[in-house]
Amino acid sequence: MTTSEPGRLDVEAVRADFPILARTVRDGRPLVYLDSGATSQKPRQVLDAERAFYEHHNAAVHRGAHQLAEEATDAYERARATIAAFIGAGSDEVVFTKNATEAINLVAYAMSNAATSGDEYHRFRVGPGDEVVVTEMEHHANLVPWQQLCQRTGATLRWFAVTPDGRLDLSDIDSLINERTKVVALAHQSNVLGTVNPVTAIAERAHAHGALVVADAAQSVPHMPVDVAALGVDFLAFSGHKMLGPNGIGVLWGRRELLAGMPPFITGGSMIGTVHIDHSTWADPPQRFEAGVPMAPQAVGLAAACDYLSALGMDNVLAHEQAVTAYALKQVGSLPGVRIIGPTDTADRGSAVAFTVEGIHPHDVGQVLDDLGVEVRVGHHCAWPLHRCYETVATTRASFYVYTTFAEIDALAEGIQAAQRFFGTAAAR
Amino acid sequence: MQLESMYQEIILDHYRNPHNKGLREPHHGEAHHINPTCGDEITLRVRLEPAGGSLDGSATVADVSYDSMGCSISQASASVLTDLLIGRTVDDGMRVLAEFTELMHSKGQGEPDEDVLEDAVAFAGVSKYPARIKCALLAWMAWKDATAQSLETEKEGAS
């Protein structure tokens, strides 16, 4: 198995770092974890970093002058620098949030807050006559906040359609992005189709009309080298838990000059400049957007995840996932009765492979796979409008990461055939 | 394999050949329920026949008709429901519903009363899988809503 493993990662060595991958599920079956698109597993290095923080340096950061507070603040800000460097950003451009969802909400709420704030925030104002552009392939996290922004402000929501082969339909880009466009919010990589969108080209078009561009990078930053300067967007959101890091921490990256001119979303302690009984002023970014005692142990854990990924090399991570994805598209896509939802080759495509199995509901496919120890996601994957585009209620999705082996793809393909045999669908062989 | 304990033959039979499927007129109440985690849905109608002058718990469930899409568990559950409830009184039906709901929340430890639940005892294995309980209960919750609605309509009509 290991000898035939293509790609540039020593997958067996990687797997040894993830204690959970050694466990069994459902009556002693080896765990085949193919749900990293939902959340990734964590290597010991990340768990150790978080534990070491609690054991040696724990204190509330940016408060207090005692030694532990100094060490904790130092660790927190070092973590910020590591994470910023991981995406080619400056430290002061990285805002910690709960997750990517909160990061996107931060921008959307800051925009509606701008409507009732002073003139210094005019850059972020939206209202009737303005347009917000999304795409049909968005995760609910990058769709619902914009629907709500439009509802609060009277702006109009518009969207790019998807093509039958799982790409964005750019044929009407000239009418969709125009002088009324204030925001273009889109996925860098689809969590269902795997499609990597031409974010840079779309951002250029949006910038020509003065619009802001928000990229949902929850599925791209974990899986490919991302350099915010090269990508050309204004804001970028991602979650720690999908990239080997802890739960409860995410990142909003924003261009320095934009963050400086953006009103806060969540207010309270440590995001202030001065506070009087009847009014307050704000701290500079990133603190302006980090109200309350921040999640320092999780930041330290996420920095350890970035270090882990950097040591593997993000180019190698990408190459490994491309090889696994190509193999999955071939092994799963060639099964009779199976239809891949999304691009069927690995060009501009990441490692989420969603599919339908003729005559078997995804819940039932997932149940048979689970019985065999193969853990996938079933349902609409928080992308309900996208599923409607493909005239299906739900799909089964397998998603991969640094620890995914070819043997696990074989187990997936065998499991799908087991489901076909169990339910007696015509396609079984 | 644990699969057989969950997908009992009775469930697969109802899934492949659902009973009483399709929406029918007349009806007193209709409910549309969606499982937000997977998008499965059901539209379910209830027709009641009063025992005395007005519609109340003593009324007979004269018909349950439905249109649905979803997994084997949700489809089979709707089919079994119609077999169990058509011809019973509303009060009786609510008792079956309570029994079935309790079984679904029994985490595989329930000892279903076959006299009350009949074919629905086959769903006992589903209760071991928390993610699937909602599938099994979807039609039942829709029936509860549609029936309550039927009785409400009657009250409004009488006042």
CATH number at residue B59: 3.90.1010.10
Picking from A364, A380, A387, the nearest residue to B72 by CB comes out as A364
Mark whether A306 is an active-site residue. no
CA distance B143 to chain A (A): 22
Tell me the pLDDT tens digit for each residue of B45-95: 999 999 888 889 999 999 999 999 999 999 999 999 999 999 999 999 999
Domain that holds residue B72: 2-151
* Alpha carbons within 13 A on the beta-carbon side of B31: 18
For residue B67, being part of any structural domain is answered with yes
For residue B156, being part of any structural domain is answered with no
Distance CA A80, CA A382 (A): 29
Q: Say yes or no for a CB contact (<8 Å) between A363 and B6.
A: no
For residue B159, being part of any structural domain is answered with no
Residues of chain A with Cβ-Cβ distance to B69 below 8 Å are: 393
Q: Say yes or no for a CB contact (<8 Å) between A367 and B69.
A: no
Number of domains within chain B: 1
Picking from B1, B12, B38, the nearest residue to A378 by CB comes out as B38
Percentage of chain B with pLDDT > 90?
A: 79
For residue B158, being part of any structural domain is answered with no
Mutation pick from A26, A29, A363, A374 vs chain B, by most beta carbons of B within 10 Å, is: A363
Residues of chain B with Cβ-Cβ distance to A379 below 8 Å are: 37-39
For residue B84, being part of any structural domain is answered with yes
Percentage of chain B with pLDDT > 70?
A: 96
For residue B51, being part of any structural domain is answered with yes
For residue B157, being part of any structural domain is answered with no
Q: Say yes or no for a CB contact (<8 Å) between A371 and B1.
A: yes
Residues of chain A with Cβ-Cβ distance to B40 below 8 Å are: 361, 363, 393-394
Angle between helices B90-104 and B130-158 (to 10 degrees): 160
Q: Say yes or no for a CB contact (<8 Å) between B70 and A363.
A: yes
Q: Say yes or no for a CB contact (<8 Å) between A367 and B6.
A: yes
Return the closest-CA partner of residue B40 out of B137, B150, B123. Answer: B137
Residues of chain B with Cβ-Cβ distance to A387 below 8 Å are: 39
Distance CA A423, CA A97 (A): 44
The region of weakest confidence among A354-358, B11-15, B109-113 is B109-113
Give ∠ CA A228-A233-A237 in degrees, rounded to 5: 70
Strands A374-375 and B29-34: unpaired
Taking only residues 56 to 95 of chain B, the set having a beta carbon closer than 8 angstroms to any beta carbon of chain A reads 69-73
| Two tokens, residue A92 | 């002061």
pTM of the model: 0.93
Picking from B2, B7, B72, the nearest residue to A27 by CB comes out as B2
Query: What pLDDT does A1 receive?
Result: 40
Tell me the pLDDT tens digit for each residue of B91-109: 999 999 999 999 999 998 8
Query: What pLDDT does A427 receive?
Result: 52
Query: What pLDDT does B108 receive?
Result: 85
State the ipTM, two decimals. Answer: 0.89
Bond preceding residue B36 cis, omega within 30 of 0: no
Cβ of residue A359 closer than 8 Å to a chain B Cβ: no
Q: Say yes or no for a CB contact (<8 Å) between B129 and A367.
A: yes
Cβ of residue B135 closer than 8 Å to a chain A Cβ: yes
For chain A, which residues score pLDDT lower than 50?
1-4, 428-429
Query: What pLDDT does A6 receive?
Result: 54
For residue B9, being part of any structural domain is answered with yes
Return the closest-CA partner of residue A238 out of A219, A213, A259, A266. Answer: A219
Distance CA A205, CA A233 (A): 11
Residues of chain A with Cβ-Cβ distance to B72 below 8 Å are: 361, 363-364, 423
User: For all residues of chain B together, what is the average pLDDT?
Assistant: 92
Residues of chain B with Cβ-Cβ distance to A27 below 8 Å are: 2
Residues of chain B with Cβ-Cβ distance to A423 below 8 Å are: 12, 72
Residue position matching structure tokens 């007193």:
B28
Query: What pLDDT does B134 receive?
Result: 93
User: Could you tell me the pLDDT band of residue B158, with boundaries at 50, 70 and 90?
Assistant: low
Return the closest-CA partner of residue A41 out of A4, A65, A15, A60. Answer: A15
Q: Say yes or no for a CB contact (<8 Å) between A422 and B6.
A: no
Mutation pick from A357, A364, A370, A377 vs chain B, by most beta carbons of B within 10 Å, is: A364
Query: What pLDDT does B157 receive?
Result: 60
Count of CB atoms situated within 10 Å of the CB of B136 = 25
Q: Say yes or no for a CB contact (<8 Å) between B1 and A364.
A: no
